[in-house]
């Protein structure tokens, strides 16, 4: 036990670094090299190895059997499960070393499940969750839940599912219907549908069914099922989404509340106001998404970083 420092080192651990935060605990048979930096209140469990070029934030948990190699940054409040494996060289050879190791970043609040593998040079987004045994070959967006080999997104943390089918079936007449959601300003719309022996027709009107005047539309199609689109917010642009074919999952996030919707009928739409973080994923193989936008394309209108989006929401009160 360390008697002179404000952190704990077990008698059977080897901690060569002096840059250890207050209240951190390093348990038996762990080895921390001299160049490593650990924040406060970390918990480093048995048989953990931490190399030199490693930065670890506050309140990080490293469970047994984890090795953290050069080039890895772990931000605050991250959980690393037992035997999770980091890598830092895509083409390793014995006694052959790269000039620099690819920087892997695990963002604040993320969790890595037991026995998962993280390839080098990736970013695991804020609050993301990697399932046990997953093999992560690409960067993971904030709040995403991924599983499998290669890891694929299967959901988003705290995204409450909304039964849009039930909402549509409750309004079968020809009158358009709008339903509120818990996400600020986001509404679900059932458009007029007319069906007879000749086929079906769905219709909406701008500034009525679609609650703004549209200056632009675009179609998204031929999206591989594993891919995720959107992952941004707009500063001033309004959007209205309709799955004209197939099915698509839509996540809407106002920085405080997050809900997940399924668009699977051409008379169902979702309105996303400005400053709403939107994600579309789990496209069916035949899915075609139509998006109406209130403004012409302007790259400056996009907010593509979730942390920036959260900061702007916080500043706006």
Q: What is the pLDDT of residue 173?
A: 52
Q: Return the SS3 of 252.
A: strand
**Residue 232 is a catalytic residue:** yes
**Residues 92/75, Cβ–Cβ less than 8 Å:** no
Q: Which pLDDT value is given to residue 164?
A: 57
Per-domain boundaries in the chain: 160-315
Largest alpha-carbon pair distance within the chain? Answer: 85
* Residue among 10, 31, 171, 232 flagged as catalytic: 232
Sign, Cα dihedral of 139, 287, 157, 252: positive
Q: Which of 174, 196, 185, 189 is nearest to 273 (CA)?
A: 185
Note the pLDDT tens digit of each residue in 234-270.
Answer: 999 999 999 999 999 999 999 999 999 999 999 999 9
Residues 141-181: pLDDT tens digits?
A: 999 999 999 999 999 999 988 865 555 444 555 578 899 99
- Given the structure tokens 């050069």, which residue do they identify? 70
Q: What is the pLDDT of residue 315?
A: 85
DSSP 115: T
Q: In what order do the strands lie in the sheet with 49-50?
A: 14-15, 31-32, 49-50, 67-68, 85-86, 117-118, 135-136
pLDDT, tens only, 37-90: 999 999 999 999 999 999 999 999 999 999 999 999 999 999 999 999 999 998
- Whole-angstrom CA distances from 279 to 13, 249, 286 are 45, 8, 18
Kindly indicate whether the domain formed by 160-315 is annotated with CATH number 3.30.479.10.
Answer: no
pLDDT tens-place string over residues 77-123:
999 999 999 999 989 999 998 888 889 999 999 999 999 999 999 99
139, 122 contact by CB (below 8 A): yes
Pairing outcome for strands 37-38 and 49-50: unpaired
* Rounded distance between C-alpha atoms, residue 291 and residue 206, angstroms: 13
Beta bridge partners of 188: 179, 270
In the structure, what pLDDT confidence band is assigned to residue 3 with cuts at 50, 70 and 90? very low
Cα distances from 177 to residues 71, 133, 171, in angstroms, run 53, 44, 7
């Amino acid at each position: 036990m360390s008697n002179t420092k404000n952190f704990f080192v077990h008698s059977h651990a080897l901690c060569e670094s002096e840059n250890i935060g207050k209240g951190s605990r390093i348990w038996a048979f762990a080895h921390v090299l001299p160049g490593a930096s650990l924040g406060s209140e970390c918990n480093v469990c048995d048989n953990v190895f931490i190399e030199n070029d490693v930065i670890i934030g506050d309140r990080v948990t490293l469970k047994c059997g984890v090795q953290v190699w050069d080039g890895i940054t772990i931000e605050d409040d991250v959980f690393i499960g037992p035997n999770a494996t980091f890598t830092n060289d895509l083409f390793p050879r014995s006694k052959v070393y790269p000039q620099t190791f690819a920087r892997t970043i695990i963002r604040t609040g993320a969790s890595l499940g037991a026995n998962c593998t993280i390839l080098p040079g990736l970013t695991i987004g804020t609050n993301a969750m990697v399932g046990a045994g997953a093999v992560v070959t690409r960067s993971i967006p904030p709040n995403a839940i991924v599983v499998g080999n290669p890891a694929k997104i299967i959901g988003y943390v705290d995204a409450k599912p909304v039964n849009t089918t039930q909402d549509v079936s409750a309004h079968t007449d020809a009158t358009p219907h709008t339903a509120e959601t818990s996400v600020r300003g986001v509404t679900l719309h059932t458009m007029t549908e007319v069906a007879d022996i000749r086929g079906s027709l769905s219709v909406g009107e701008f500034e009525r069914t679609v609650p703004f005047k549209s200056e632009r539309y675009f179609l998204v199609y031929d999206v591989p099922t594993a891919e995720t689109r959107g992952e941004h917010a707009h500063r001033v642009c309004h959007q209205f989404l309709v799955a004209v074919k197939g099915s698509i999952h839509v996540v809407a996030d106002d920085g405080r509340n997050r809900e997940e919707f399924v668009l699977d009928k051409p008379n169902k739409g979702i309105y996303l106001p400005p400053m709403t973080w939107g994600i579309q994923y789990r496209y069916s193989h035949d899915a075609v998404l139509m998006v109406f936008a209130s403004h012409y394309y302007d790259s400056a209108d996009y907010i593509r970083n979730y942390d920036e989006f959260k900061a702007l929401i916080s500043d706006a009160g």
